[in-house]
Structure 1
Amino acid sequence: MADVVRPEVRSRMMSGIKGKDTKPEVYVRKMLHAAGFGYRLHHRKLPGKPDIVLSKYRAVIFVHGCFWHGHRCHLFKLPSTRTEFWRQKISANADRDVVANQKLLDSQWRVATVWECAIKGKKRLQPAEIESVLVNWLRSESGKLEVTGRPGD
C-alpha cells in the first residue's frame, strides 16, 4: 500500500515525534516526584542517556515506547509499508538498548525499563501498581527491573 501523504509531509510528521518528555516519561516522573524521589533527566554522560537518573540509589529508569523499541506486546505492530526499513530501525534501537543496559550494569548502575504498555492501552497497570513496583525496586538491591503491561490475549 502506498503512503497517502507526500514524502516531505511524512518526513515533517515523523520529525515531530518527541524523543524526550513523552507522555509516558512525564507520567513516571510525576509519580516518582509525588513519592518523594529526586532525580536528574537525560544524563548525557551515562550510556543510553537514561530518561531518569536517581544517583542516590545508583539507579536509572528508561521509559520506552513499545513501537520504537520493538516490545512484543499488543501496542507493537510492524508497519505494512517499508517493512524492512522499519525492521532494521527498530532492531537497531533494541540492540542499542541492550548495549547501554549492559554498560550501565557493568558500571554498577541498576537499570529499570518501564514500557509504554504498562502505562497505556488495554493491558495497562494501575498507577498504584507501577508506583509500588518502582518504589520497592529503588529501595531494594535488585539490579534490573522491567515493568510491562498485563500478560494475556
Structure 2
Amino acid sequence: MQPVCKKLTDVHNSEQRSRNMAAIRGKDTKPEMRVRSLLHSMGFRYRLHRKDLPGRPDIVLTKYRTVIFVHGCFWHCHDCRWGNVIPKTRADFWKEKRGGTIARDVRNRAALEAAGWRVIVVWECETRSEGELKSFLRSHLSAASTPSSIVG
C-alpha cells in the first residue's frame, strides 16, 4: 500500500528543477557512502553495483549471500517525513514515476530472493545517525554471518 503523500509547492521553475533532477546521482550517494564506510569499519568486505544481479544492488556481500539496497526516501516512497511528499507540479507524473520505482523494487527483490540472496533495504533517513545505522546493520547481519571482529 502506497502512503498518502502531501503536496509540496515547487520553489523552482521547470528549467531549474530539470537541472537539479539531472544532477542527482544513482551511485556513490552520501547515504550509500555512509553505509559502505560503516560496513568496512565493521570488518565486512563487499562488491559494488554488480550488473549480473537484478536491480544492481548498491552493496553485495558475496560471502554472506546478502545484498544491500540504499534507497532514497523520496524516490522509493518511504513512509517518513521525506518520502511522503510529492511536488505539486506534475503530481500525476511523479505519482506514476515513483509507483514504477516501487514496482521495480518488488520485482528485483523477488528475483534476488528466488535466486537465494538475502535482501536488506537501508533507507536514506536511517543513515542519519551512525549509532542507529550500526545497530540496524548488526541486527540484520546476524552474528552467524558476521566477522568475529564485530561480535560483542
TM-score normalised to the size of structure 1?
A: 0.81
Quote the Cα distance in structure 2 between the aligned partners of 1:53 and 1:103: 15
2:139 alignment partner in structure 1: 136
Q: Give the aligned partner of residue 6 of structure 2.
A: none
1:3 Cα deviation (Å)?
6.8
Where 1:96 maps in the other structure, the secondary structure is: helix
Please state how far the C-alpha of 1:13 moved relative to its aligned partner.
Answer: 2.1
Quote the sequence identity (%): 49
Partner of 2:93: 85
Runs of 4+ in 1 over 6 A off after TM superposition: none
Q: Does 1:101 align with 2:109?
A: yes
| SS of equivalent to 1:63 | strand
Structure 1 distance, partners of 2:107, 2:41, is 31
Q: Pick closer, same or farther for the CA change 1:87–1:44 going to 2, 3 Å.
A: same
Contact 2:126 2:132 (8 Å CA) reproduced: no
Aligned partner (choices 5, 8, 16) of residue 23 of structure 2: 16
CA distance in 1, matches of 2:107, 2:144: 22
* Number of equivalences: 136
Where relative contact order (Cα < 8 A, 6+ residues apart) is larger, the structure is 2
How far off its partner does 1:6 sit?
A: 4.7
* Unaligned segments of structure 1, at least 5 residues: 121-125, 143-153
Alpha-carbon spacing, 1:141–1:95, altered in 2? closer, same or farther (3 Å): farther
- Let me know the Cα RMSD of the aligned residues: 2.0
Matches within 5 A, 1:22-61: 22-61=29-68
Aligned partners of 1:29, 1:2: CA distance in 2, in Å?
32
CA distance in 2, matches of 1:84, 1:128: 38
| Cα distance, 1:4 vs structure 2 | 4.0
